[in-house]
Amino acid sequence: MAAAAVHGRRRRLLLLLAALLHLLLVVPVPPVQAARVTALIVFGDSTVDAGNNNVIPTVARSNFPPYGRNFPPEGRASGRFSDGRLATDFYSEALGLGRAFVPAYLDPHYGIRDFAIGVCFASAGSGLDVATSRVLRVIPLWKQLDMFREYMSRLDDHLGATEAHAVVAGAVYAVSIGTNDFIENYFALTTTRFLEFTPGEYTDYLVGLARGFLAELYSLGARKIGFTGLAPMGCLPLERARALGRCAEEYNAAARAFNAALVGMVRELGEQLPGSDIRVAEVYDFFEDMVRDPGRHGFARADVGCCGTGTYEMGYACGAWAAAPAGTCPDADRYVFWDAVHPTERASRLVADHLMNTTFGRFA
């Protein structure tokens, strides 16, 4: 009798386990939903300006050939300092926002419906330091924030307050700025900053400005923010030409010092802002490897740009102001740099792939 009872309980247990297994196999389990990225919002300088400078009175423009010759679908000088798309355009595509580029906020061809999934406030020639933006009379970072506030108001009107708030909170913010503060301002002696600060003091000053900007952006509702560190600016063709073909190591040292200070500041700030996810997109080592060993990345040249001689031409010198049209290389994909400062579309794609893997893709 006891043995029969034990056998019966065992049989019932086996039947119960079989039923549970059947349920696991036939009943669909909903996947874990990742936080949705609602939009890509961009601040910065010419590394990410999608054409805002086209409509302001400045010489820092590129809305003319040969710029944009590979911009889809048929080649258009959009105002990007490239032969095609920028890293942020590739972020938009990779984040699944349904568009392969980020439009400029001041571009009259786009409106708030377009900007609801991505918008660029960046201005070529701008910097963290307002004195930098005055050199070429471009849009300073504080004004870019004002444009963002206006955008938020327009988004409220377009979507309603609740949905607009969700867009702002769920967006990824890409910030790329700081190089001009050194190469166009401090080291260029175009303002008095070189008299007011040592290089180290100026770095601390800039990182303090970056901290204030990030804190203000957070106060406006931003939560997922990627701040791109500086690349080895001493290896830009423009700077190499001045250094007789070598990378200007003083400039590279300044970039590394800025990046180290930026990482420390972002770590500290993130601990003070509840719910924030602020990351430094570290690009220095990856880009340095591209310029010092271009062949390993499929490039033929990294010492000069594709446009003209590749040593000084950018902006109007690359096209509109040239006495004759500045010649460009036949295949920009073989060059790391499009002009004497800015990368080609292919180089930007490689940088974007790297930073999506290390930084921006982790917000998705």
Residues in the chain: 364
For this structure, is 339 an active site residue?
yes
Q: Which alpha helices (DSSP H) does 160-283 contain, by range?
A: 161-170, 179-180, 193-196, 199-219, 237-242, 249-272
Contact of 232 with 252, CB cutoff 8 Å:
yes
User: Among 82, 342, 348, 354, which one carries the catalytic annotation?
Assistant: 342
* Catalytic-labelled residue, pool 46, 123, 126, 348: 46
Calpha distance 53→107 (Å, rounded): 9
285 is catalytic: no
Pairwise CA distance, residues 70 & 344, whole Å: 10
Amino acid letter, 49: D
What are the strands, taking DSSP E only, across the chain?
40-44, 118-120, 172-176, 224-228, 277-281, 301-305, 335-337
DSSP 301: E
Report the DSSP beta bridge partners of residue 228: 176, 281
45 is catalytic: no
Which are the contacts of 183, defined by CB distance < 8 A and separation ≥ 6? 233, 236, 238, 239, 251
Determine which one of 123, 339, 348, 354 is catalytic. 339
Non-local CB neighbours of 340 within 8 Å, separated by 6+ positions: 236, 237, 238, 241, 304, 305, 307, 310, 311, 312, 313, 314
**Under 8 Å between Cβ of 84 and 68:** yes
Active site residues: 46, 339, 342
